[in-house]
């Protein structure tokens, strides 16, 4: 079962310490970054919503996932202490934040507010 759940994470953009600036910190870009970890149950619960939004907003916003275990530099630079944490960026600046599991509609509402 765990294997199946982790496979669902392959569709959203994989954001890393090395590609974060290239993908998120750009002018005229709206991004939603899910800070998560493989071992985190709530992260796996919200993962499908993030995946759906990445498909629905392809070409309109960068929707990605950053594994905090594999990419600690970016996570620590934003003071991520609890996961899942989702940060919303506009023009490279954090404009909203969501900590914990919420319905997909709530994530979409926050995303749409910055498009």
What's the pLDDT at 27?
85
| Domain ranges, ordered by start, for the chain | 2-112
- Share of residues in the chain with pLDDT > 70 (%): 91
What's the pLDDT at 55?
95
CA angle 77, 74, 39 (to 5 degrees): 115
What's the pLDDT at 26?
85
CA angle 39, 23, 47 (to 5 degrees): 30
Averaged pLDDT of the chain: 91
What's the pLDDT at 8?
41
What's the pLDDT at 98?
98
Rounded CA separation 71/61 (Å): 22
Rounded CA separation 53/32 (Å): 10
Active site residues: 40, 43
Contacts of 80 (CB under 8 A, 6+ apart): 35, 68
Per-residue model confidence as pLDDT tens digits over 66-111: 999 999 999 999 999 999 999 999 999 999 999 999 999 999 999 9
Superfamily of domain 2-112: Glutaredoxin (3.40.30.10)
């Amino acid at each position: 079962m765990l294997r199946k759940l982790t496979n669902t994470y392959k569709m959203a953009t994989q954001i890393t310490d090395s590609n974060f600036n290239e993908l998120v910190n750009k002018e005229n870009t709206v991004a939603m970054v899910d800070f998560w970890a493989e071992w985190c149950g709530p992260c796996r619960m919200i993962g499908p919503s993030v995946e759906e939004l990445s498909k629905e907003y392809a070409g309109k916003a960068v929707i990605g996932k950053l594994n905090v275990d594999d990419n600690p530099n970016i996570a620590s630079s934003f003071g991520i202490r609890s996961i899942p944490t989702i940060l919303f960026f506009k023009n490279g600046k954090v404009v909203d934040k969501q900590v914990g599991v919420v319905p997909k509609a709530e994530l979409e509402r926050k995303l749409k507010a910055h498009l």
